[in-house]
């Protein structure tokens, strides 16, 4: 297969009106990645060297998005909506370059398995001119049927055109197909539009190819491979299927998910063996977790790197740039952003660490915050190895706490603290005997007077 050239044409021009969104349908996300990007990735994994995106609605927005997830792909605009065959021909320039195989895919089928595409390509390598990917369902109502004779596919029949006998067929059209590059332009050119909608249907090439004596076959994949997304409910359904697949893969790789159905991964989450994930954890894009970590319940993690044997949560938030080194701990109700927490350091509870370094073995007390933003610029806080920061302290950046430095609880630190120094940054306590009783009596008398005045007013 690696010796056969392949072009993937991904149809992504639809408006997606049922999504009721200003965003082009295929840019709605599954696992943090536009659904069309999932299709591009599947094509690449199936050995497709080149991709052509056929776009229409929101063309400029599509181009900008494609520059990120498919920078090598070409884009072609389908100006008029005249059917799927017409959409494929929008990429005529790319097709004309000559490929062994041409895959035709849809940008709103994000669950396509690369293996299903590879099987279709193998049929072309074995001599077929067209290979259609189908699926079987006990409830085929609404789907086009794959009509086979003697092991060959002779037609794709829409349900409204099926005979009563053909309606009993449960082998249905998934919409995806592979076409031999040598025949694709000729077959597409022969498609007519003498139908109720006056459109050029890609599926017509099956009968055209059969009539020409070309070999046309159907391959079988699961229903999920052909699941198209038309509205938000189907988007959620696809998300659920993707997440279930990924959870299964993760657990088989040696990760413990205590309540799998409550854990949500992103498309690029990397997680090492012997990691334990408790219920209700969300992983956004850009998370890398090494082996043996513990991610406790209700944690929210994105753009973070977590080294081996770290301990996170419960109720922790790691934002982009959080970098936890071996055996670091970020405890409950803590937030870390754009900061390194070095080996063995502890950020235990109710703390915000941003734009900072927490040195190895340092201990950050409850309620500590790095005051890193003045409304215009970000500033850096450097906390040295083995430092101790007492509870409820504010570290006003830019600032350095030296190795072994000790910050007294409740301090506001605005100046650098040298190595092994003790720093206080709080007002001196003053105690006045009996003053508490005097204040209570004064406040009680004032409250009673107010209540009496209010009663007289009514």
- Would you say 418 and 406 are in contact if contact means Cβ atoms under 8 Å apart? no
**Do the beta carbons of residue 100 and residue 180 sit within 8 Å?**
yes
What whole-number distance in Å separates Cα of residue 239 and Cα of residue 219? 25
Cα dihedral across residues 14, 45, 226, 96: positive or negative: positive
Which residues make Cβ contacts (< 8 Å) with residue 222, sequence separation at least 6?
A: 113, 135
- Three-state DSSP state, 424: coil
Which one of the listed residues 38, 86, 267, 349 is annotated catalytic?
A: 349
- Burial of residue 148 (number of CB atoms within 10 Å: 0-12, 13-18, 19+): middle
Which token pair is 308? 């081996």
SS3 331: strand
Q: How many helices (H) and strands (E) does the chain have?
A: 9, 35
Q: Is 26 helix (H, G, I), strand (E, B) or coil?
A: helix
248 catalytic per annotation? no
Cα–Cα distance list, 204 to 52, 90, 192, 199 (Å): 22, 17, 8, 11
β-pair partners for 323? 305, 340
* Integer angstrom CA distances of residue 418 from 155, 325, 361, 382, 423: 81, 24, 17, 12, 9
CB atoms within 10 A of CB 21: 14
Question: For residue 234, how far is the Cα from the chain centroid?
Answer: 16
Name the phi and psi angles at 46, rounded to 5: -85, 5
Q: At what angle do helices 35-45 and 59-69 cross, to 10 degrees?
A: 50
Alpha-carbon distance of 46 to 245, in angstroms, equals: 19
C-alpha closest to that of 384 among 399, 401, 369, 368: 401
In the block, tokens 């009783």 appear at 437
Give the residue numbers marked as catalytic.
349
């Amino acid at each position: 297969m690696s010796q056969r050239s392949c072009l993937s044409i991904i149809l992504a021009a639809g408006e997606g009106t049922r999504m009721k969104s200003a965003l082009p349908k295929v840019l709605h996300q599954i696992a943090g990645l536009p659904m069309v990007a999932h299709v591009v990735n599947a094509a690449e994994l199936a050995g497709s060297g080149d991709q052509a995106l056929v776009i229409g609605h929101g063309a400029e927005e599509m181009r900008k998005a494609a520059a990120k997830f498919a920078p090598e792909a070409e884009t072609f605009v389908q100006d008029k909506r005249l059917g799927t065959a017409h959409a494929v021909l929008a990429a005529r320039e790319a097709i004309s370059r000559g490929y062994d195989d041409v895959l035709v895919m849809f940008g709103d089928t994000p669950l396509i398995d690369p293996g299903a595409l590879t099987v279709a390509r193998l049929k072309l390598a074995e001599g077929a001119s067209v290979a259609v990917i189908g699926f079987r369902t006990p409830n085929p109502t609404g789907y086009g049927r794959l009509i086979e004779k003697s092991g060959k596919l002779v037609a794709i029949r829409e349900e409204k055109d099926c005979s009563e006998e053909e309606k009993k067929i449960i082998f249905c059209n998934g919409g995806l197909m592979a076409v031999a590059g040598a025949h694709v332009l000729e077959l597409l050119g022969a498609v007519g539009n003498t139908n109720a909608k006056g459109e050029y249907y890609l599926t017509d090439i099956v009968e055209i190819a059969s009539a020409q004596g070309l070999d046309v076959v159907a391959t079988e994949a699961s229903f999920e491979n052909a699941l198209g997304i038309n509205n938000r409910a189907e988007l959620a359904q696809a998300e659920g299927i993707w997440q279930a697949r990924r959870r299964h893969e993760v657990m088989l790789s040696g990760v413990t998910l205590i309540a799998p159905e409550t854990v949500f991964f992103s498309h690029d989450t990397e997680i090492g063996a012997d990691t334990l994930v408790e219920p209700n954890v969300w992983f956004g894009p850009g998370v890398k977790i090494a082996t043996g970590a513990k991610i406790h319940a209700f944690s929210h993690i994105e753009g973070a790197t977590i080294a081996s044997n770290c301990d996170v949560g419960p109720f922790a938030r790691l934002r982009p740039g959080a970098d936890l080194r071996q055996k670091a701990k970020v405890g409950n109700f803590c937030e870390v952003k754009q900061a390194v927490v070095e080996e063995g350091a502890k950020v235990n509870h109710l703390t915000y660490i941003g734009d900072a370094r927490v040195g190895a073995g340092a201990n950050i007390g409850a309620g500590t915050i790095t005051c890193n933003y003045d409304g215009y610029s970000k500033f850096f806080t450097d906390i040295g190895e083995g430092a101790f920061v007492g509870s409820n302290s504010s570290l006003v950046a830019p600032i350095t706490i030296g190795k072994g430095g000790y910050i007294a609880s409740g301090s506001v630190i605005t100046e650098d603290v040298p190595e092994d120094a003790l720093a206080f940054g709080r007002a001196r306590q003053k105690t006045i005997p009996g003053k508490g009783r005097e204040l209570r009596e004064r406040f009680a008398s004032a409250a009673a007077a107010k209540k009496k005045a209010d009663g007289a007013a009514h």
